[in-house]
């Protein structure tokens, strides 16, 4: 059988290639390739495509090609411009002209509020291949299945355990089989970075996070599989590798450290990055030194809020004293101020403006940078019901990180928060 795999363009107020690749989608493609399926692949967000005209920035990150488009009516009151990020429709249509008719088309979507890209792709696919079944998967489907069924109207939806695919493709397939497959990185002509996962899910149950929904059980992937993934990425010219783990430091003595010891035996010059927030409570002096020794270049920590009561209410992932100790340990291990970035959540339901201001000041006083993470209400999480008291979230577009915090605080206060963050970060860089 022949399958077409498509990663749609992004419709959003902002988007940036922050080590962003469709990891699970590439695992599924690889799984099918190993069983004799022919795969055609098109990623609208591939910055190395010759028509993207994108410069690669530090550690492989970079900007997407973008075009300002009309905002959906539901977002018309948001003052910021709205963009379509990715390769053009014409580029995609030209690619479809060059491939054989697929037996199935697979489309994925990472964010619930990016479904406009799926609508664009499905329209083009159905015009070109009207009789080809369209299969939709990704976090959007898992979190907003009813919306996907009624708005996108795919022919089939990939359920979390792959039962539908097993029946449709007439193959033996399970979630664990796919999750233990090495992604088909070779589908890209060029890679500026790669991503890996040591673990799936998270043992914590933070009230704002979807990890518990997407991965109900925390489990570790086989070490030999992840080592083989790195081998593959290195052969493809990759030096920068980002961890997609939600809980990278959990049981680090048994999982992360053995991986690092093994991988650095054969690959000496890798640079590791942690775009997903690491749990600060696990950064002991020993772990901090290991991160430095084994080539971690950027450290992202999850602090979320400096308010002790809200820390406990949202899951108890970290306490202020644990966070302070982690930062101290990282500095003692030799990390520079500019290498450590802390996520602070903005716009949690019930969160006062003053809480965020004090959080920025507390983090800045420690000598590290702040990255504001505007709260996105995610279906099926405990905080989603609370968020609905402030805003009608039936349309996933309203779950956008650029929307909830803006309407919660208002433009003036939100700008004050961002100005303080920028001022504090600039001061840290000047004093480096």
152 and 207, same domain (yes or no)? no
Residue 431 has pLDDT above 90, yes or no: no
303 and 183, same domain (yes or no)? no
317 and 410, same domain (yes or no)? yes
Range of the domain at 49: 1-191
pLDDT (0 to 100) of residue 71: 96
pLDDT (0 to 100) of residue 198: 98
Q: 151, 167, 191: which is the final residue of a domain?
A: 191
Q: 145, 169, 191: which is the final residue of a domain?
A: 191
161 and 251, same domain (yes or no)? no
266 and 146, same domain (yes or no)? no
SS3 366: coil
256 and 142, same domain (yes or no)? no
**Mean pLDDT to the nearest integer, 134-157:** 97
Residue 430 has pLDDT above 90, yes or no: no
Is there a contact between 322 and 342 (Cβ–Cβ < 8 Å)?
A: no
Residues contacting 404, CB < 8 A, separation 6+: 347, 374, 375, 376, 377, 387, 390, 391, 398
- Residue 44 gets the label, from left (phi > 0), alpha (psi -120 to 50) or beta, of alpha
154 and 252, same domain (yes or no)? no
- Residue 334 gets the label, from left (phi > 0), alpha (psi -120 to 50) or beta, of left
292 and 271, same domain (yes or no)? yes
Tens digits of residue pLDDT in 366-399 = 999 999 999 999 999 999 999 999 999 999 999 9
Q: 176, 191, 206: which is the final residue of a domain?
A: 191
Tens digits of residue pLDDT in 103-126 = 999 999 999 999 999 999 999 999
135 and 231, same domain (yes or no)? no
Residue 246 has pLDDT above 80, yes or no: yes
- Residue 42 gets the label, from left (phi > 0), alpha (psi -120 to 50) or beta, of beta
What is the residue-averaged pLDDT of the chain? 96
pLDDT (0 to 100) of residue 178: 97
Give the integer Cα–Cα distance in Å for 392 and 68: 26
Tens digits of residue pLDDT in 46-67 = 999 999 988 899 999 999 999 9
Q: Give the domain CATH number at 110.
A: 3.40.50.2300
Number of domain units in the chain: 2
The percentage of the chain sitting over the pLDDT mark of 70, rounded to a whole number, equals: 100
126 and 201, same domain (yes or no)? no
pLDDT (0 to 100) of residue 264: 95
Is there a contact between 379 and 143 (Cβ–Cβ < 8 Å)?
A: yes
| Strand partners for 373 | 345
405 and 301, same domain (yes or no)? yes
Residue entry with tokens 């400096």: 306
pLDDT (0 to 100) of residue 14: 95
367 and 262, same domain (yes or no)? yes
Tokens matching residue 336: 């520079």
Q: Give the domain CATH number at 241.
A: 3.20.20.70
Give the integer Cα–Cα distance in Å for 141 and 236: 31
């Amino acid at each position: 059988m022949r399958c077409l795999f498509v990663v749609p363009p992004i419709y959003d107020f902002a988007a940036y290639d922050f080590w962003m690749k469709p990891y699970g989608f590439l695992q599924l493609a690889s799984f099918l390739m190993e069983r004799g399926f022919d795969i055609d692949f098109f990623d609208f967000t591939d910055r190395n495509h010759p028509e993207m005209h994108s410069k690669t920035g530090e550690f492989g990150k970079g900007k997407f090609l973008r075009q300002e488009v009309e905002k959906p009516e539901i977002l018309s009151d948001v003052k910021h411009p709205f963009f379509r990020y990715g390769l053009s429709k014409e580029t995609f249509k030209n690619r479809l002209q060059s491939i054989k008719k697929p037996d199935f088309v697979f489309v994925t979507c990472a964010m619930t509020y990016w479904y406009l890209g799926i609508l664009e792709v499905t329209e083009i696919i159905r015009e070109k291949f009207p009789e080809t079944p369209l299969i939709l998967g990704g976090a959007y489907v898992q979190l907003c299945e009813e919306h996907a069924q009624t708005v996108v109207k795919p022919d089939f939806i990939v359920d979390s355990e792959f039962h539908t695919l097993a029946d449709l493709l007439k193959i033996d397939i399970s979630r664990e089989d796919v999750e233990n497959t090495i992604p088909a990185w070779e589908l890209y002509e060029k890679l500026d970075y790669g991503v890996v996962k040591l673990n799936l899910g998270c043992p914590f149950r933070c009230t704002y996070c979807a990890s518990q929904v997407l991965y109900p059980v925390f489990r570790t992937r086989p070490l030999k599989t992840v080592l083989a993934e790195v081998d593959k990425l290195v052969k493809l010219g990759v030096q920068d590798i980002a961890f997609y783990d939600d809980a990278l430091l959990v049981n680090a003595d048994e999982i992360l450290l053995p991986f690092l010891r093994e991988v650095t035996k054969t690959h000496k010059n890798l640079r590791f990055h942690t775009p997903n927030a690491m749990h600060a409570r696990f950064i002991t002096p020993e772990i901090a030194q290991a991160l430095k020794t084994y080539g971690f270049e950027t450290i992202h920590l999850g602090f979320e809020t400096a308010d002790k009561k809200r820390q406990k209410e949202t899951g108890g992932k970290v306490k202020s004293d644990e966070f302070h100790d982690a930062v101290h340990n990282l500095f003692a291990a030799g990390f520079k101020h500019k290498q450590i970035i802390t996520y602070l959540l903005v716009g949690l339901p019930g969160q006062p403006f003053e809480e965020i201001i004090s959080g920025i000041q507390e983090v800045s006083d420690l000598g590290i940078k702040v990255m504001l993470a505007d709260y996105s209400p995610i279906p099926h999480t405990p905080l989603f019901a609370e968020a609905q008291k402030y805003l009608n979230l039936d349309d996933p577009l309203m779950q956008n990180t650029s929307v909830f915090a803006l309407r919660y605080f208002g433009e003036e206060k939100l700008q004050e928060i961002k100005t303080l963050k920028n001022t504090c970060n600039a001061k840290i860089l000047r004093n480096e």
